[in-house]
Amino acid sequence: MKLSKLFLSFISAIAILFSTSVVSFAKVVGDKIVLGAAISLTGKYSSNGVHTQNGYNLAVERINDMGGVKVGGKTYKFDIIYYDDESNPKRAAQLAERLISQDGVEFMLGPYSSGLTKAIAPVTEKYGVPMVEANGASRSLFTKGYKYLFAVLAPANLYLDVAIETAVELNGGKGVRIAQAFEQDAFSQDVRLGILDAAKRTGSEIIIDDKLPKELNDMAATLVKVKQMKPDVLVVSGHTKGALTAIRQIAEMKVDVPMLAMTHCDAAKLSKQHGKNSQYALCASQWHKSLTYKDKFFGTGMKYAKDFEKKFKYDPPYQSAESSAALLVFKDAFERANSFDKKKVRDALAATNMQTFYGNIKFAPGGQNVDKPMVLFQVMCDGSGKCENKVVAPLKWASAKLIHPIPKWSER
Amino acid sequence: MNKNLILYTGILIFGLAAPFIFPAFKVQLSILCVLIVLATTWNIQGGEMGYNTFGNILFYGLGMYLCASVQVGMFFPLAEWTESGGEKTFVHTPAQFFQGMAAGLVVAAVIPTIVAGLIGYAILGLRGHYFAICTLGLGVAAGEISGGIEIIGAGQGFTTPPFPNVGGLEARGEFFYFLSFGALVLTFLAVRAIYSTRFKLILNAIRDNEDKAEAMGIETMKYKIIGWMVSAFFCGLAGGIMGGLVGYIDSTDVAFDGREMGVFMVLMAILGGKGTLWGPVIGATVFHVFKEGFWTFFLGWQYVALGVLIVVIVIYFPEGIMGWLREKYPERFGEVVDEADRKAQVELK
C-alpha cells in the first residue's frame, strides 16, 4: 500500500488540473475571429517581440474600429491569443501545438525571428492552419514546400545585397574587400549567404568572416582585425543586440571603415541610444515611414508612424510595420474567401495582391513576398546632434544622398 | 510485491490511455515522459553516485542531432538538406520516415554511450565541485561547436523530417507520445533492475565515501564510467525523440539547452528526492505540471513563479518530496521505527 495510494491521488490531481485548463476557444466565437500568436516577450528577442506585438495590436484595433471583417454578410472583429515563447524554438513549437489543439485556433500570426518561425511552420503545416508571418525572413522557410506559410517580408538574403552593390558601384565597378561578422542564428546566417552571393557576383573578396555568439555583447576580436586589415565594407548582423554592440564598440575602439552596413538599426533605436556615434551607419530595412505606399486603414507610412508613436511612445521600427501589415493581409483574405474554411482562406491568401502602407504584397508559391524590395537607410545627424534615419537606396525612394566614405574618427 | 504489481499495471494502463483521455495534451505528455527519463538518468549520477553532473545535456543534444542526421542521411544528401539556400524539397515516404527514425534512435542511443565512456575515462577522476564545473563546460562547448558545423545546419538550425501523411491529424502526436512513453518505460525498468543489484550499492558506496570504497577493493572508476554510460544511453534516446517531436533543432536553444533542460533535469530530481527510484518521476511530473500551469496563468511572470517554487523547494523540502514523505511516514517505506527512539531524536533537535 505504501506508494500506490500516493500515486493514485497524484494522478487524479494531475487529471483535475488538466481537465480544468481545457478552455476551448473556437476559431470564431460570436463575432470574433480568434488568431493565435507565440511572441517572444522574454528572452533574447524580447524587444523585437514587443515591437511585433505592438504592430499586431495596433492593426487589430484599427481594423476593428473601422468596421471589422465582413464575411458572409456579417461583420467580425479580430482577437489575438498571445503566449510567450521565451525566444526558444522548442517552446514555440509547443505553443503552436497548444494554440491549435487546445485553444482551437485555426489561423495563426507569426512569431518574431526566423528560428522560431522555422520551429512553428511544421506544426501549422501539419494541421493545415494558415499562418501569415511578418518576422521570419530566412530563405530556407520558403524552400521547404510549405503551403500554409505566408510572409509579408522579403527574404533575408536580400537584406544587405544592395549595400554591397552600392559599394562596388562607388568603387568604380571593381570588387571590394568585405569584412563580415554574423550572429549564429538562422536569420543572420541567411543574411551572410546573401552577402556571399553578392560578393561572388561582383567579384568582391571576403577578408574577414567571423561568427558571433548568440548572447552577443562583445565583438572586439573582429574589430581588432578590421583595424588591421582595413576592409572597404564592414557588415554586421545580429538582431538588436548585434547592432547595439557594433556601434558601441566601433565608437569605443575608433574603428575607421569606409562603409558600415547592418541590420536592425531601427529596432535597436540606434540613433536615439547612441546618437552621433551611430552616424553614417547603413541599415537594411523592410520598410521606412517615408516610403510612398498607401492603404485605407493606416493611410501613408508617415501617418502610421504618427499613430504608432502616439500609442506606444516610440518611432515604429519596420518589425512593427510588417506585423501590422500581416493583419491587413488576413482581413483581405477572409473577405475574399468569404468563409472561415481553412483551405479557402489559404487559397485566398495565396492569391493576395494588394498594397498596404507597408508595401505591395504578393506571395510567391514558396510563401515569400516578391513584390516588395528592401530599402537602405543611413543614420544622419545634424549639427545639434539630433539623428535621423534617411533612405538612401534604392534611388526611387531616396530622400538623401549616401555619405561615402564615412569620415575618419579623427576628423569627426 | 502484489501491491507493487497493481501499482505498475495501473500506471501502465494510465500511460497507454492518456493520449486518448487527454487528446489535446499529447505534446505536453510526451515532453513529460522525456523529462522523467532525463531526471531518472540524472539521478544515477547526482543521486546514487553523488556526482553532480551538468553534462548529461551533452548526450541529449548529441542524440538529437544524430537521430535527425541519420534519418535524413539514410535517404538524402545531408548537406543539401541542411543548406538553407537549397531550392530542392525532399520528402520522406512513410516507410523512409519510420525506418530512418528507428535507425536514428539506435544511433542516438549508442554513440552517446560510447562518448560517455571516453569522456568519463578522462574526467571522472575529478570529484565534487571540480567535476560539476567540468561537465558544465561540456554542454556549453558542445553547443558552440555544433553551432559551427555546416553539415548539421550550424547557426541555421536543422529542420527534422516532417511527419509523413499517414493516419490523419492525430497520428504524429500519438506516434511521438508512444515513442516517448516507450522510452520512459524502458528507462524505468532498466534503472529499477540496476538498482536491485550490487551495482547500486557500489554507487552508494562511492557517494558515501569513495576512498573507503576503493580501499575495499572496488574499482570505483570502472563503475563510475559504466553508470555514466547507462545515463548517456537513455539521454541520447530521449534527445532523439525530442528532436523529432520539436521538429527543429537549434544548437544552443533546443539541443544543448543547458540553461533550461540541463538545469531542469537537476531540479526535477532534487524536487522529487534524489537517490530514490520514484523521486525523479514524481519530481518531473510535479515540476512539469507546475511549469505548464505557470506558463498559462502567470504569463509574463512565469519565471518569477518558477523561481519562487524553487526557493520553496529548497527551504521546505531540502530532501525532496520523497525525502519529506519518508521523514513523515517512515513506516510506509518499510522502516521500523522505535517510537521512544524517534521522540528522543526529536527532542535532541
User: Is B143 a member of any domain?
Assistant: yes
Reference B67, options B315, B239, B216; nearest CA is B239
User: Is B34 a member of any domain?
Assistant: yes
Q: Given this model, what pLDDT does residue B90 score? A: 78
Q: Given this model, what pLDDT does residue A331 score? A: 95
Q: How confident is the model at residue A1 (pLDDT cuts 50, 70, 90)?
A: very low
* Edge-to-edge strand ranges of the sheet holding A282-285: A205-212, A177-183, A233-237, A259-263, A282-285, A375-381, A387-393
Q: Take residue B24 and report the three cell numbers written for it.
A: 489535446
Reference B235, options B26, B42, B54, B33; nearest CA is B42
Question: Which residue from A4, A18, A115 is facing B7, i.e. has the nearest CB?
Answer: A4
Contact call for A118 and B254, based on CB within 8 A: no
User: Is B307 a member of any domain?
Assistant: no
**Which residues in A lie closer than 8 A to residue B25 (C-beta atoms)?**
18, 102
Q: Take residue A271 and report the three cell numbers written for it.
A: 540613433
Reference B155, options A181, A121, A106; nearest CA is A181
A260 contact B CB<8A? no
Q: Given this model, what pLDDT does residue B346 score? A: 67
Q: Given this model, what pLDDT does residue A31 score? A: 87
Q: Given this model, what pLDDT does residue A11 score? A: 54
Tell me which long-range contacts B80-83 makes (C-beta under 8 A, separation of at least 24).
Answer: B82/B150, B82/B151, B82/B152, B82/B153, B82/B156, B82/B158, B83/B150
B92 contact A CB<8A? no
Residue in chain A lying closest to B253 (CA)? A88
Question: Which residue from A3, A127, A140 is facing B84, i.e. has the nearest CB?
Answer: A140
User: Is B169 a member of any domain?
Assistant: yes
Supply the DSSP symbol for A94.
H
> Lowest-pLDDT range, A2-16, A136-150, A160-174?
A2-16
User: Is B291 a member of any domain?
Assistant: no
Distance in angstroms (rounded) separating the CA atoms of residues B289 and B46: 23
Per-chain mean pLDDT for chain A: 89
Q: Is the pLDDT of residue A244 over 50?
A: yes
> Using one digit for the tens of pLDDT, what is the confidence trace for B7-59?
899 999 999 999 998 888 888 999 999 999 999 999 999 999 999 999 999 99
> Using one digit for the tens of pLDDT, what is the confidence trace for A312-359?
999 999 999 999 999 999 999 999 999 999 999 999 999 999 999 999
Q: Given this model, what pLDDT does residue A24 score? A: 46
Closest CA of chain A from B153, distance in Å? 9
> Using one digit for the tens of pLDDT, what is the confidence trace for A179-201?
999 998 888 988 998 999 999 99
**Which residues in B lie closer than 8 A to residue A119 (C-beta atoms)?**
246-248, 250, 254
User: Is B176 a member of any domain?
Assistant: yes
A18 contact B CB<8A? yes
Contact call for B25 and A102, based on CB within 8 A: yes
Cβ–Cβ < 8 Å for A178, A204: yes
Contact call for B27 and A115, based on CB within 8 A: no
> Using one digit for the tens of pLDDT, what is the confidence trace for A91-137?
899 899 889 988 889 999 999 999 899 999 989 988 899 999 999 99
Q: Given this model, what pLDDT does residue B45 score? A: 93
Q: Take residue B273 and report the three cell numbers written for it.
A: 528526492
Q: Is the pLDDT of residue A394 over 90?
A: no
**Which residues in A lie closer than 8 A to residue B157 (C-beta atoms)?**
89, 115, 118, 186
Closest CA of chain B from A24, distance in Å? 10
ipTM score assigned to the predicted complex: 0.79
Question: Which residue from B24, B163, B173 is facing A22, i.e. has the nearest CB?
Answer: B24
Residues B175-198, mean pLDDT to the nearest whole number = 95
Residues B287-298, mean pLDDT to the nearest whole number = 85
B241 contact A CB<8A? no
Q: Given this model, what pLDDT does residue A347 score? A: 95
Question: Which residue from B10, B148, B157 is facing A211, i.e. has the nearest CB?
Answer: B148
Per-chain mean pLDDT for chain B: 89
Question: Which residue from B21, B24, B333 is facing A101, i.e. has the nearest CB?
Answer: B24
Q: Is the pLDDT of residue A7 over 70?
A: no
Give me the percent of chain A exceeding a pLDDT of 90.
60
Q: Is the pLDDT of residue A370 over 80?
A: yes
Q: Is the pLDDT of residue B349 over 70?
A: no
User: Is B179 a member of any domain?
Assistant: yes
Question: Which residue from B27, B85, B299 is facing A83, i.e. has the nearest CB?
Answer: B299
A-B contacts at Cβ under 8 angstroms: 154
Reference A121, options B160, B34, B180; nearest CA is B160
Q: Is the pLDDT of residue A22 over 80?
A: no
Q: Given this model, what pLDDT does residue B25 score? A: 87
Q: What b/e sequence results for A360-384 when a residue is b if at least 16 CB atoms lie within 10 Å of its CB, and e otherwise? A: ebebeebbbbeebebbbbbbbbeee
pTM (2 d.p.): 0.84
Question: If contacts are CB pairs under 8 Å, which of residues 291-330 in chain B contact chain A?
Answer: 292-293, 295-296, 299-300, 302-303, 325
Residues A253-260, mean pLDDT to the nearest whole number = 94
Q: How confident is the model at residue B315 (pLDDT cuts 50, 70, 90)?
A: confident
Position with higher pLDDT, B108 vs B150: B108
Residues B76-95, mean pLDDT to the nearest whole number = 77
Q: Given this model, what pLDDT does residue A23 score? A: 45
Contact call for A115 and B250, based on CB within 8 A: yes
Q: Is the pLDDT of residue A20 over 60?
A: no
Q: How confident is the model at residue A4 (pLDDT cuts 50, 70, 90)?
A: low
Position with higher pLDDT, B150 vs A226: A226
Question: If contacts are CB pairs under 8 Å, which of residues 119-178 in chain A contact chain B?
Answer: 119, 122-123, 125-127, 138-140, 143-145, 157
Non-local (6+) Cβ contacts of B52 within 8 A are B45, B46, B131, B132, B266
Question: Which residue from A19, A42, A144 is facing B89, i.e. has the nearest CB?
Answer: A144
Position with higher pLDDT, B86 vs B56: B56
Q: How confident is the model at residue A21 (pLDDT cuts 50, 70, 90)?
A: very low
Closest CA of chain A from B214, distance in Å? 35
User: Is B15 a member of any domain?
Assistant: no
Distance in angstroms (rounded) separating the CA atoms of residues B224 and A161: 54
**Containing domain of residue B30, as a range?**
22-263
Ordered by where they begin, the domains of chain A are 23-154+291-362 (3.40.50.2300), 158-285+382-411 (3.40.50.2300)
Question: If contacts are CB pairs under 8 Å, which of residues 197-256 in chain A contact chain B?
Answer: 211, 213-214
Number of domains in chain B: 1
Q: How confident is the model at residue B260 (pLDDT cuts 50, 70, 90)?
A: confident
* Cα dihedral sign, A327-A330-A335-A339: negative
Helix (H), strand (E) counts: chain B: 15, 2
